[in-house]
Structure 1
């Protein structure tokens, strides 16, 4: 009885320590402000990073609590059996054989759990991220040690086993890039077009609605991206917050279209 009481006390203390560490890790201060070159932190990316950090900490805490319970209580039971002069060698042998059998029968499940643990520890993706998992592209809605749940652009929900994900393209970590290609006639005035696109990029950067909450740094005109016998293609690029590149690209297209119309410059298909 004393061994069991001590085991329960140790298990409870261990769980409290794990919970305290998990809470501290989940509520740690965000450093996303560095993405703005030392500027103030951005609320949108702070929320995303905090949600990912909290989920990863809670999942790892749950795993650690289960492992601690199994190790502590299993050791206590074996110690009690030994004190009662009950031979435990046959029991350990049976458990070992059973473990091997379960391991062979549940290889895929073990593979999923191991992949899920490494994915969480390495912070490959989290809830709210837009990822390309190979099998599907969509927004992550839930992450567990066994499966990842995605919702694609059409609203379909995909359940993907972590062990089957061999590569992940994450569009929501750090920053994203929005770019548009502007095709104009081959005989257009190149310096004039480039100057016009530069003014559009500068106006977008100076717009408080985008500079304060969407765009990370000033948009740039890369110049001539392609040349054909009928057109010259310019590229305008802007670094944005994660998953906001589509919004910025749409705004750039509208402003470029209005500026070209005002200057009498036609787009070429």
Structure 2
């Protein structure tokens, strides 16, 4: 009679291997589902501006913050899913190799040595990835933001864990490694500010100039197009901001939606110049 023991052992090993692989896939799917749930919860969390409605923050900023939060959560979710897949599937494969009596100790040793060698040779790459991870977690900037990254200033077109792609005002595209960015100036986060300095002569009617500028501020705030899509709150007129040897400088400012300050500034300059001309008040060059 034939000995069925070897066949029984092979069948048992095959069943064990299949179970290990199936279990790894199930755990991976569960991990992905858990990560997806966490991402959805983070992306659809409570409104960040709902607690500050008394400050007259428009819903437009709330929508922008929600979109940024959603993009950041989805990016981090994708990274976590890849890490979970590598860890879980890799552990399953190692378990299968051990089940097949293939020694994995030399393999683990080789992988460890290779990892150390790659770590020494790719320190800058690791630095870029770590900086990119923290940049995404802290929401320092996102696609569409206008930032000053030190090496370049421009609009963010793409963000990855390794590089940030910017386009400056001349249309030039810059690729900045995340690990080389030591400080970020973001002009588009939350809100922006448009302002104009108005220099007038020393003998000008200070009270009259201030009243005229306040009238311009009220006019801008009353414009439905600007109020609904660009301006956050009514513009403010400050007193004499500067004194020079030839002029008095007033300042008028307007809080705007992110990246809308340039357009509001152009409109502000046009309205102020028109109002001064109508009142016969000349602007002078400030020293």
Q: TM-score, normalised by structure 1?
A: 0.92
Q: CA deviation at 1:8?
A: 1.4
Q: What is the rounded CA distance, in whole Å, between the counterparts of 1:192 and 1:264 in structure 2?
A: 11
Matches within 5 A, 1:114-125: 114-125=130-141
Inter-CA distance 242–100: structure 2 relative to 1 (3 Å threshold): same
Which residue matches 2:34? 17
Q: Per-residue deviation at 1:194? A: 1.0
Tell me the CA shift for residue 154 of structure 1. Answer: 1.3
Q: Does 1:172 align with 2:188?
A: yes
Is the CA contact 2:147–2:186 (under 8 Å) kept in the aligned structure 1? yes
Q: Secondary structure at the match of 1:187?
A: coil
SS in 2 for 1:212: helix
* Equivalent residue pairs, number: 268
Shift, 1:28, TM fit: 4.6
Cα distance, 1:34 vs structure 2: 6.1
Residues 211-226 of structure 1: matches in 2 within 5 Å?
A: 211-226=227-242
Cα 1:249–1:34 change in 2 (3 A) is: farther
Unaligned runs of 5+ in 2: 1-16
Aligned-pair distance for 1:16?
A: 2.6
Distance 1:41 1:194, change over 3 A: closer
1:4 aligns with 2:4: no
**Partner residue, 1:84:** 100
Contact 2:197 2:252 in 1 (8 A): yes
Taking the TM superposition and a 5 Å limit, the aligned residue runs for 1:199-214 are: 199-214=215-230
Pairwise CA distance, 1:54: 2.8
Structure 1, residues 8-47: CA drift from partner, whole Å, max 9, x if none?
Answer: 121122223323433443355654466764657434x355
Question: Does the 8 A contact of 1:133 with 1:168 survive in 2?
Answer: yes
Superposed, which structure 2 residues align to 1:48-67 within 5 Å? 48-67=64-83
- Give the conservation status (yes or no) of the 8 Å contact 1:223–1:234: yes
Q: Is the 8 A contact 1:132 1:170 kept in 2?
A: yes
Larger Rg: 2
| Pair 1:193–1:40, CA change in 2 (3 A) | closer
Q: Distance in 1 between matches of 2:72 and 2:244?
A: 50
Q: Is contact 1:35–1:216 with CA below 8 Å preserved after alignment?
A: no
For residues 59-85 of structure 1, what are the alpha-carbon distances to aligned partners after superposition, in whole Å with 9 as ceiling and x for unaligned? 211211111111112222222233334
How many angstroms apart in 2 are the aligned matches of 1:81 and 1:253? Answer: 73
